[in-house]
Amino acid sequence: MGKFWRGITRTVLWDYDRGSVPYDVMVLSIVLFVFLSPRAWFNDRPRFTTGEHAETVEVIGDDRAAGIRVYRVDAHLLVPSDRAQLERRTHDFLGRNVESLRGRNFRIEKMEEHRSENGAIYYDVAVKQ
C-alpha cells in the first residue's frame, strides 16, 4: 500500500524524471485530454441571451494581446439617427446581450457597416475591454 501512495504523491508533485515511463504516461494523458475533451466544457465563447437576439450577435475576431474582440451585429437591431446615437445604442445592446461584457467597462474602438450578398446590413464592432 505504501508503494501505491508513493506513486500517487510522485504523480501529484510531478516527481518523475523526464523520459521515464511514468513521465511519458502523464504527458500523454494531458495531451489526450487537451485534444479529446469537448469544447463545451471550457465555455470559451461569450454567451448571448436566449431571447430574440440570440442569433444576431457573433464573435468574428479576437485579439487577446490588444484586448480587442470583434462582434458582428445585425443592423435591424440598431436604428440610429446619427453616428453618436448608433454607437451608444450598440454599446448598450452589447452590454445587455453579451455575457462577457455584462457589468464590465468596455469601449467601442471601431464600427464598420457591411452589406451581405442578399442585401442585409450588419456592423462589425471592435470592442476593447
Claim to verify: residue 33 and residue 61 sit in the same structural domain: no
Per-residue pLDDT tens for 43-81? 555 444 444 444 567 778 888 777 888 888 777 667 666
Claim to verify: residue 62 and residue 124 sit in the same structural domain: yes
Domain assignment of residue 116, yes or no:
yes
Which structural domain, as residue segments, surrounds residue 9?
2-37
Sign of CA dihedral 61, 63, 69, 70: negative
Q: What are the beta bridge partners of residue 107?
A: 128
Q: What are phi and psi of 48, to 5 degrees?
A: -110, 165
**Lowest-confidence range among 35-39, 46-50, 79-83, 88-92?**
46-50
Cell numbers standing for residue 67: 484586448
What's the number of domains the chain is made of? Answer: 2
Single pTM value for the model: 0.48
